[in-house]
Structure 1
Amino acid sequence: MATMLKSNDTAIAVMQQMLQERCIAEPSFAIKMANPSKSMEGAVNYLCSQIQKSGLCVVDDTTVMNLLVHYFDENEIEEGGKVNCNIVVGKPELSEEDKANLKEQAMEQYKEEQLREIRRQNQPKATAPKHTTAPKAGEEINVQPNLFGDDF
Structure 2
Amino acid sequence: MNLAAHYYDEDDLDEADPIDCNVVVNHKPELSDEEKEELREKARKKVMREERQRLHSKKRKSTKKEQEDEQPNLFSS
Superposition TM-score, scaled by structure 1 size: 0.28
Which of the pair has the greater relative contact order for Cα pairs under 8 Å at 6+ separation? 1
Structure number with bigger Rg: 1
